[in-house]
Amino acid sequence: MIDLTPVLNPSFWLNLAPVGLSPVFEKAFFLGFSGLILFGAVAKIVAKNKKDDRYLVKTYQKLASMLVTMGFVGMGIFFFTYEEIYLFSARFWYILWAIGLVAWAVSIVRFAKVMVPKAKEEATNRATFNKYIPRRNR
């Protein structure tokens, strides 16, 4: 059975001395961060090819930006951990990275679920209002 009590101890996370990763975790972190970069590139391509809904395109752009950025930042943290560099290989960087990822994802979900419907409603109201405004002939 795996003993998880050290994970609950703050000294485990705040230890600045480099600790090497096991081969399983090395592969898992590398594949996970590479997957983020790959999915970010796919989201960027999807955003570029979708032209019909500008709000969906903006959401995909935000998602792609988050995935690529956090993938490269995670790769940097993984590199420092792999090389066992003092301070930069500390475990608390992974916690800060995860907090940043969650905060960024929440802001994207908030944009997609709250701000996009408001913007769409405002655009339809503006179009309805402008329908009755006389235009200058050109």
**Does a structural domain hold residue 43?**
yes
**Does a structural domain hold residue 39?**
yes
**Does a structural domain hold residue 4?**
no
Domain count, the chain: 1
Tokens of 103: 């905060």
Tokens of 127: 């179009």
For 91-131, write each residue's pLDDT tens digit. Answer: 899 999 999 999 999 999 999 999 999 999 998 898 888 88
Report the alpha-carbon distance of residue 52 to residue 62 in Å, rounded. Answer: 17
**pLDDT for position 57:** 93
**Does a structural domain hold residue 30?**
yes
Buried b (16+ CB within 10 A) or exposed e, 58-93: bbbebbbbbbbbbbebbbebbebbbeeeeeebbeeb
3-state secondary structure of 95: helix
Report the alpha-carbon distance of residue 24 to residue 65 in Å, rounded. Answer: 28
**Does a structural domain hold residue 1?**
no
pTM of the model: 0.85
**pLDDT for position 138:** 65
**pLDDT for position 20:** 84
Q: Phi and psi dihedrals of 51, rounded to 5?
A: -115, -10
Quote the DSSP letter at residue 20. Answer: P
Residue 1 pLDDT > 80: no
For 5-45, write each residue's pLDDT tens digit. Answer: 888 888 888 888 878 888 998 999 999 999 999 999 999 99
**Domain range enclosing 34:** 20-131
For 43-94, write each residue's pLDDT tens digit. Answer: 999 999 988 889 999 999 999 999 999 999 999 999 999 999 988 989 899 9
